[in-house]
Structure 1
């Protein structure tokens, strides 16, 4: 079964499910430390553990996805993701102590929405560019909705109710998305089970990890830089607004990325995104004023938007197994989320508030450099083949 492009209703179901499974965890993140403190636990320790928990199970599941994709249909995988995502929300909603909260966060990583829904969008779309870019649009929408909903719910002591509502919504959307995925296949055809990443896969994995690390380093330490510049101007509300502007820009520009991915090499598109992000991060400390920072945050959102779709499209093109390639790409993004803030934090003391932003720029540019040899090999003309002097010439 090779699959077929899904109709409008099927794509809408996938989009709404992606929005929900993105928004629900993000509703908790801005108030995670405050929620832990309400439970009477040590905020620093438990907040760090809770932040890292989904990454642990996401990485642990990475080698299992190819085998699961061979044993389960794509609709069954969508149900897996939806049920575990809803269970995660339910555990978080009912948590009265940090251990239950930790269990909910661990289940979130087991759900594997970043892999399963990527497979579903790719199978439902008419091309890699359209499928992965539409998925990223849904992610951007979830990133906009989740923190706002979580902040409002926390102020009204309604995080638990919000999470239960999210669990119910995810279950309903899972049924619709699984129905839409009937007739679609995770793999375009039977693919061999790869033993692991090959030598030519490593530049992509490094690029994805570095790009993710740079983005999360920047987001984690931009408030520190902004407060050091002018704490009266850069209030938490303004910083949140600037962050939202980046996601709005991503939503608007992703259709252009879709066309570019289908018309250009995904590797070239990934390099352009990494370079654009690196330059955007590096320009922030130059003191461009509020209008300059607004413009940079919009540009950063626009160029970062194409990074994950380009990575997924390039990983798929590298083959041979789509599931294994996307799982490894997702793992690289997850590792970057963990390493980026740590690397930026190490730059804070010797370089001051601008140090983490420069570290973010360096990480993103390092990802582009990792792809330079393969990019040159793809686009430089092959050397001419010299004629064999011993071979007799044909008579014409």
Structure 2
């Protein structure tokens, strides 16, 4: 992974921060692919409870968005890191102990309250000299968690050991949280002299819209690519192959993120975001065009490489508008969360009216709509914009 050590945290502290981000990402993803099956084993109606449990973290994440400015002003970054790690561990323990869907739903609400997507982004940024390196390293840890979580969860679910796995994740989270908080005791959420209080400007709103559309397109594609693949050729696209393609995308993302870090620090993050959105949109749209298995493999690898830089570019671009880093990170994270909700819903509507290929084109359209929002903002006359502080 990219080295971004700061004199204020050191290599060991950075390693603890990376492990914390990896665990915060991997732990919920160990359950997520099997959530419906897990609820069905509890003897409950899986459709309602699965939908509720899937949406629960997004609800509390969005509810917490306005609170982060006040929390960052009142508490230190190590304290907020302890909040994130502690609540993430509590969520894992609740999942392990849940005997009914209601307890599982509570655990998922607690996961959203932890605010890992905001607090850890602030921690990585504070531990780095440049936004590109900090946010790219964070995304590398996220990619590793996305790769490892479902693999570990699948093995545990098959062996009936999901509860012990989640308890183990909770213990690991507590250990790395203590290490990361201790190592980051000199880190600050905001640069010196900055008060986390700001109002959105039009340029920022266009960036947030672009991030939301990009997130929506990616989640629409991931959610409905299996539907397209099995309808296209069920003999070739087995569940195992679909899962392998998904894992390979995250592996490519993990490997190429150092290149994204250099690009973000050497050029405009807004341009990088636009290139990622256009690239993802075009590769999504190319999937149904009869490229064969080899072409689909190449497209999935390319999608992983292109999508990898999207979140770091969004965080860096919104932060560059200033002055508050906390506000920028919280709003960027909220836009990505909204996209995660909108994308599968939009693709589901496309499935009903246009069939499996329609879901893939819907994903492409969402990503390209994000690029269009950026382009429109870039060409708006200066007199139509709010002044930049």
TM-score by length of 1: 0.93
Equivalent pair of 1:17/1:174 in contact (CA under 8 Å): yes
Correspondence for 1:169: 172
Equivalent pair of 1:268/1:375 in contact (CA under 8 Å): no
Correspondence for 2:303: 300
Number of aligned residues: 377
Correspondence for 2:384: none
Which one is further off, 127-136 or 197-206?
197-206
Structure 2 residue 110 is the aligned partner of structure 1 residue 107: yes
Equivalent pair of 1:5/1:125 in contact (CA under 8 Å): no
Structure 2 residue 100 is the aligned partner of structure 1 residue 92: no
Distance verdict in 2 for CA 1:230–1:279, change over 3 Å = same
Correspondence for 1:286: 289
| 1:250-289 Cα distance to aligned partner (Å, 9 max, x none) | 0110000000000000000000000000001000000100
Q: Distance in 2 between matches of 1:283 and 1:241?
A: 20
Equivalent pair of 1:61/1:110 in contact (CA under 8 Å): yes
What is the RMSD of the two structures over their aligned residues, measured on CA atoms?
A: 1.4
Correspondence for 1:348: 351
What is the CA-CA distance between 1:6 and the residue it aligns to? 2.7
What is the CA-CA distance between 1:113 and the residue it aligns to? 0.3
Structure 2 residue 24 is the aligned partner of structure 1 residue 21: yes
Correspondence for 1:140: 143
Which one is further off, 191-200 or 109-118?
191-200
Q: 1:371 aligns with which of 359, 370, 374?
A: 374
Equivalent pair of 1:5/1:126 in contact (CA under 8 Å): no
| 1:147-183 Cα distance to aligned partner (Å, 9 max, x none) | 0111110111111100000000000000110012111
Q: Distance in 2 between matches of 1:265 and 1:340?
A: 27
Q: 1:124 aligns with which of 123, 127, 131?
A: 127
Q: Distance in 2 between matches of 1:95 and 1:198?
A: 44
Q: Distance in 2 between matches of 1:269 and 1:189?
A: 28
| 1:328-365 Cα distance to aligned partner (Å, 9 max, x none) | 00000000000000001111122211001100000000
Partner of 2:173, secondary structure, is helix
What is the CA-CA distance between 1:375 and the residue it aligns to? 3.5
Q: Distance in 2 between matches of 1:230 and 1:109?
A: 37
Distance verdict in 2 for CA 1:185–1:72, change over 3 Å = same
What is the CA-CA distance between 1:189 and the residue it aligns to? 2.1
| 1:163-209 Cα distance to aligned partner (Å, 9 max, x none) | 00000000000011001211110001232343542333110110010
Structure 2 residue 335 is the aligned partner of structure 1 residue 332: yes
* Structure 1 unpaired stretches of 5+: 379-396
Q: Distance in 1 between matches of 2:218 and 2:327?
A: 24
Q: Distance in 2 between matches of 1:4 and 1:343?
A: 46
Q: Distance in 2 between matches of 1:4 and 1:71?
A: 24
TM-score by length of 2: 0.95
Structure 2 residue 184 is the aligned partner of structure 1 residue 181: yes
Structure 2 residue 235 is the aligned partner of structure 1 residue 235: no
* Structure 2 unpaired stretches of 5+: 1-5, 382-389
Correspondence for 1:387: none
Equivalent pair of 1:93/1:160 in contact (CA under 8 Å): yes
Correspondence for 2:62: 59
Max radius of gyration: which structure?
Answer: 1
What is the CA-CA distance between 1:5 and the residue it aligns to? 4.9
